[in-house]
Amino acid sequence: MAVLTYRDALNQALREELIRDDRVFLMGEEVAQYNGAYKVSKGLLDEFGPMRIVDTPITELGFAGVGIGSAMVGLRPIIEFMTWNFALLAIDQVVNSAAKMLYMSGGQFPMPMVFRGPNGSALQLSAQHSQAWESWLAHIPGLKVVTPATPADAKGLLKSAIRDDNPVVFLEGEMLYNTRGEVPDGEYTIPLGKADLKREGDACTIVAHGKMALLAMQVADTLAKEGIAVDVVDLRTVRPMDVETIAISVRKTNRAVVLEEGWEICGVGAQVVDFIQRECFDDLDSPVLRVHQEDVPMPYAKNLEKAAKPDAAKAIAAVKKVMYLA
């Protein structure tokens, strides 16, 4: 196994799937000549040419629709948004066209396509460029929503997303591209809809996804030094959600904290809590707590930004609270 960055793992997945299936193409802003705004598509133009690695004008609504139309007649597009903040301009196509096409057509038109790009906050990008969109997208029946945390997951999940015959929203962590990890060579897929137990313990369950799964692991390691061993359930796929893995863990630990990058109200964590109270009502020793971005737009100033984001201290405090240690 090679040690790769998250960026290179995604690049490898793209490359392998482009080789495997000539119906697959990548389209988006700066993906070809510039090698991608975040260099995820580096080298692909040279290898696959301009019909398969396609630069677009700044027209998110338009090229998302182009992808959908091409998928209706047999292609398998990967639509890259430079960031998910700009995908908002295309949300009509993602929600009203892609997500519902199969249903509206009584099963005639599946949408074998991927919408992907960086999601979540970065550093000091302020209110319009620092947002986590998974709860919005996970709300929509017809979509699958994937949020890889590690390079290996990024590769395995992207390959599965490209092969899936449904529209898959693939949310990459904007801050994760430079993170490193071991990645299996060649054919490696991870089924969508399966969570991953990334740390094991019996004191409490931390449920997280995407960048927050890394934070959860970091918190688990810190708590381990205090003799508190926690389960970390990385959802990996937010929709469909792997309720069974969450429930198995909570039945063991009897406590849970849900960690996410997005806002509190109607967030992914709210859904996790709902599943837990239905599946594990009699197993719980304390209320489930949530850690998330503060309920404000992301501020620019460094100190305010830091205060707005979920962090290790907030997560540790929540774990200790559900354990009645604080």
Contacting positions for other proteins (CB under 8 A): 29-30, 33-34, 37, 55-59, 61-62, 85-86, 88-89, 122-129, 294-297, 299-304, 307-308
Q: Is 276 in the site for ligand TPP (CB under 6 A)?
A: no
Torsion of CA 297, 268, 205, 220, to 10 degrees: -40
- Cis peptide leading into 110, omega within 30 of 0? no
What, of other proteins, ligand TPP, none, does residue 19 touch, CB below 5 to 8 Å by kind? none
3-state class of 123 per DSSP? coil
Q: Is 263 in the site for ligand TPP (CB under 6 A)?
A: no
Active site residue 172: no
Q: Which two tokens stand for residue 123?
A: 């550093």
Q: Is 60 in the site for ligand TPP (CB under 6 A)?
A: yes
3-state class of 13 per DSSP? helix
Asked if residue 64 lies in contact with residue 90, where contact means CB atoms within 8 angstroms, the answer is yes
CB atoms within 10 A of CB 308: 18
DSSP H helices, the chain, are 6-20, 44-48, 60-72, 84-87, 91-92, 101-104, 134-138, 151-163, 211-225, 243-253, 268-279, 302-308, 312-322
Distance from the first to the final alpha carbon of the chain: 42
d(CA 179, CA 166): 29
CB nearer to ligand TPP: give 38 or 150. Answer: 38
Active site residue 292: no
Q: Is 127 in the site for ligand TPP (CB under 6 A)?
A: no
Q: From residue 9 to residue 48, what is the string marking binding to ligand TPP with x (rule CB under 6 A)?
A: --------------------x-------------------
Q: Which of 30, 47, 80, 129 is catalytic?
A: 129
CB nearer to other proteins: give 110 or 299. Answer: 299
Q: Is 174 in the site for ligand TPP (CB under 6 A)?
A: no
Q: Which of 17, 60, 134, 260 is catalytic?
A: 60
What, of other proteins, ligand TPP, none, does residue 69 touch, CB below 5 to 8 Å by kind? none
Q: How many residues bind ligand TPP (CB under 6 A)?
A: 6
User: Which residues, including other chains, have CB under 8 Å from residue 243's CB and lie 6 or more apart?
Assistant: 275, 279
Q: From residue 74 to residue 93, what is the string marking binding to ligand TPP with x (rule CB under 6 A)?
A: --------x---x--x----
Residues 181-200 that bind ligand TPP (CB under 6 A): none
Site residues, ligand TPP (CB under 6 A) = 29, 58, 60, 82, 86, 89
Which positions are annotated as active-site residues? 60, 129
